[in-house]
Structure 1
Amino acid sequence: MTTKILMIYTGGTIGMESSANGYTSVPGFESLIRSRLAHSHHALLPEFDMLELNPLIDSANLIPSHWTEMADIIIRKYEDYDGFIVLHGTDTMAYSASMLSFILQGLSKPVIFTGSQIPLSQLRNDALDNLITTLLLATDNSINEVCIYFSGRLLRGNRSSKVKATGLDAFNSPNFPWLGQVGLNVELHSNLFLPQKQPRFLNPEFKKNAVVILPIYPGINGKHVELLSSDPDCKAIILRSYGVGNLPDQNQELIDALKAAAQRGVIFVNNSQCLQAEIFQGQYACSSILNEIGVISGAEMTLEACFCKLHFLLATLTSTAIIKNNFAKSLAGEISR
């Protein structure tokens, strides 16, 4: 049986071309891909169809409704293809990969995001290698989750972050091992893949201001919490804390604002500013107050996973208590519990 892949081009650097205003996404990327692949050992590559979003997205312009659009394509075409590739801009790729991991729970086929730091249209680029390797990986039905492939690394999507702005190895998963690496050989660590379970695809509509992010910094004013939480659309705030979850507990204005917002029903999640970290709320006295307020630990989740998981739970559940309870559980391998 012939393996067939669906490639979804959302926009991003991989398909951009130079313009007077810098790199910009242009339609008709499929013809360039097929032209470049014709010079490769294309007989070894799977057949693929390609869909382009219209309009294309520079990933810096990504909004939550785009996640629904991407997921809808995969859900509608799920039985027609053996694997899926999402070509996406690098700036928000980890957000989209995280969200699709929550929407598409229980996958039995690969859904792999990739892109590049240099457009395929340029003579020297990283796009072609990422594209060819992702095509090969997308035929492997042992990969049963949403991943990012970039520069020799196969990563769990909801464990990934963009860690370099210009390096070709732009992505890493700081708190979880790589699912595979590609060098002279393709090495997949199947023991790390998610256990197979029944498909559960939920593709809700998201409210774009439901979740906001507040970095903690020296001298932070409690009025920032008041301003963010006063927005009726704001249902959850991610606190970007220090280290293992610490914040200035002697800043009474800040603590009072957190308490008041929590009493009004705003959900708070504690997420570390450190790239490699796990939240241990209460390990230091300065974070014990957060347990009293009812702030939820973000454990070792990336910021992108925290943000998307909150959006997903807010869009699919109604009870604050149930949302908090489900946030502490692993939905798609984003935490190790």
Structure 2
Amino acid sequence: MRAVKNLLVLYTGGTIGMLETPEGLAPAGGFEVRMREHLAARSDAPQVQWALCEMNPLLDSANMQQANWLAMRDAIVEAVEHGGHDGVLVLHGTDTLAYSAAALSFLLLGLPVPVLLTGSMLPAGAPDSDAWDNLVGALRLFECGLEDGVQLFFHDQLLHGCRASKLRSEAFDAFAALPRHRDGERAAAIPSVLDYRQPRQPVKLAVLPVFPGLQAEHLRGLLDSGVQGLVLECYGSGTGPSDDQALLDALHDARQGGVVIVAISQCPVGSVVFDTYAAGSRLRDTGLVSGGGMTREAALGKLFGLLGAGLDVQAAEHWFALDLCGERA
């Protein structure tokens, strides 16, 4: 851990910098001026040298797409490799903040600087807003020193980038890391193909919860759309309708056809352990890969990082089962 001397603030949009428009709150430019004015007026402002880069376009994070993750990754790598920055603060909307933190965790494997994401539930300048508290709190962490890797800071909580989820839509303590079981063996080293210097490509991914009434044709319709990876949110410890042979056949055929299918628990505090029930074992036998106690955000972000690097099915499944940055251990 070391104090950051030359911080990049990457402003992507989100509530923290929104201003009122006739249609409602919307992302607005010019946040650097507002941020410098606020810090200059504070006697306790952190003493961190920083520069701000404004993404184009600025986003309400409900509009976040894979292309935006890739653009953030490119901006961060450029700032570190060529801009001399030794830390990055990403200002981001809360709706997809945990998804972006997870995706960046796998897009930036091995990056030798800390990356911290934060945002706010109310815009900076709004009465009783949490915006400046979150932003100044994040700056203080850079001033004191942070470990390398991706983390999320919100409402005085520092959370692992792959373990955070948004649990509340209105309260300031909107994010938490739920105590999901970790069981993955740590990878001995990060392969060069997954290093942060490796460019990534968009990937066709999907998330599907198991529910009473899920039919094989529902699953086949999704898989026939060209999906390369699927996060299947199972019941409890990784169970599903194991007496529906058509559904099991659809999963098996998809795996044989080159789709990576990973299983996580849809329980907020849960973990996949296929062998607990026969209903789980039958799902596993179709070719599903256990996500253990990974969150939806982490599983989706990891699939994106692996398949986006061009890994084939076997390699993607191998690395998915191992812990790469603390998501499974």
TM value normalised by structure 2? 0.91
**CA positional deviation for 1:197:** 8.6
Deviations 1:234-281 (A, max 9, x none): 111111111111111122332222222222222211111111111101
**CA positional deviation for 1:23:** 1.1
Distance in 2 separating the partners of 1:51 and 1:294: 44
Instruction: Please say which of residues 46-55 and 76-85 is displaced more in the overlay.
Output: 76-85
1:110 to 114, 120, 124: 114
Corresponding residue for residue 184 of structure 1: none
1:110·1:139 contact (CA, 8 Å) conserved in 2?
Answer: no
Distance in 1 separating the partners of 2:189 and 2:125: 39
Corresponding residue for residue 251 of structure 2: 258
Distance in 2 separating the partners of 1:110 and 1:85: 9
Question: What is the one-letter code of the residue matched to 2:286?
Answer: I
Distance in 2 separating the partners of 1:153 and 1:176: 18
Deviations 1:37-67 (A, max 9, x none): 2221255431211011111011111110111
The answer on 1:310 being equivalent to 2:307 is no
Deviations 1:177-211 (A, max 9, x none): 9xxxxxxxxxxxxxxxxx99999314533325x21
Deviations 1:78-134 (A, max 9, x none): 151231100000111111111111122223322100000000031220001100010
Residue aligned with 1:226, SS: helix
Distance in 2 separating the partners of 1:135 and 1:176: 29
**CA positional deviation for 1:331:** 1.2
Equivalent residues in 2 for 1:120-159, closer than 5 Å:
120-159=124-163
Distance in 2 separating the partners of 1:44 and 1:92: 27
Residue aligned with 1:258, SS: helix
Equivalent residues in 2 for 1:230-269, closer than 5 Å:
230-232=224-226, 234-269=227-262
Corresponding residue for residue 227 of structure 1: 221
Corresponding residue for residue 32 of structure 1: 34
Distance in 1 separating the partners of 2:146 and 2:255: 43
Distance in 2 separating the partners of 1:128 and 1:103: 28
Change (3 A) 1:279 1:197: closer
Residue aligned with 1:76, SS: helix
Distance in 2 separating the partners of 1:224 and 1:41: 59
TM value normalised by structure 1? 0.88
- 5+ unaligned residues in a row in structure 1: which ranges? 178-194
The answer on 1:21 being equivalent to 2:23 is yes
**CA positional deviation for 1:72:** 1.1
Q: Which has the higher contact order (CA 8 A, sep 6+)?
A: 2
Deviations 1:141-180 (A, max 9, x none): 4421100000010001111111111110111111369xxx
The answer on 1:331 being equivalent to 2:329 is no
Instruction: Please say which of residues 321-330 and 76-85 is displaced more in the overlay.
Output: 76-85
Distance in 1 separating the partners of 2:232 and 2:327: 18
2:265·2:272 contact (CA, 8 Å) conserved in 1?
Answer: yes
Deviations 1:261-313 (A, max 9, x none): 22222221111111111110121111111221110001111101100111111
Instruction: Please say which of residues 220-229 and 145-154 is displaced more in the overlay.
Output: 220-229
1:165 to 165, 169, 179: 169
Change (3 A) 1:127 1:216: same
1:109·1:141 contact (CA, 8 Å) conserved in 2?
Answer: no
Identity, in percent, stands at 37
Pairs aligned (count): 318
Residue aligned with 1:243, SS: coil
Q: After the TM superposition, list the runs of 4 or more consecutive aligned residues in structure 1 that deviate by more than 4 angstroms.
A: 195-199
Distance in 2 separating the partners of 1:245 and 1:176: 13
The answer on 1:7 being equivalent to 2:9 is yes
The answer on 1:322 being equivalent to 2:322 is no
Distance in 2 separating the partners of 1:3 and 1:319: 40
- Tell me how large the CA RMSD over aligned residues is: 2.3
Distance in 2 separating the partners of 1:125 and 1:196: 42
Residue aligned with 1:139, SS: helix
Distance in 2 separating the partners of 1:43 and 1:162: 28
**CA positional deviation for 1:77:** 1.3
1:68·1:203 contact (CA, 8 Å) conserved in 2?
Answer: no
Question: What is the one-letter code of the residue matched to 1:318?
Answer: L
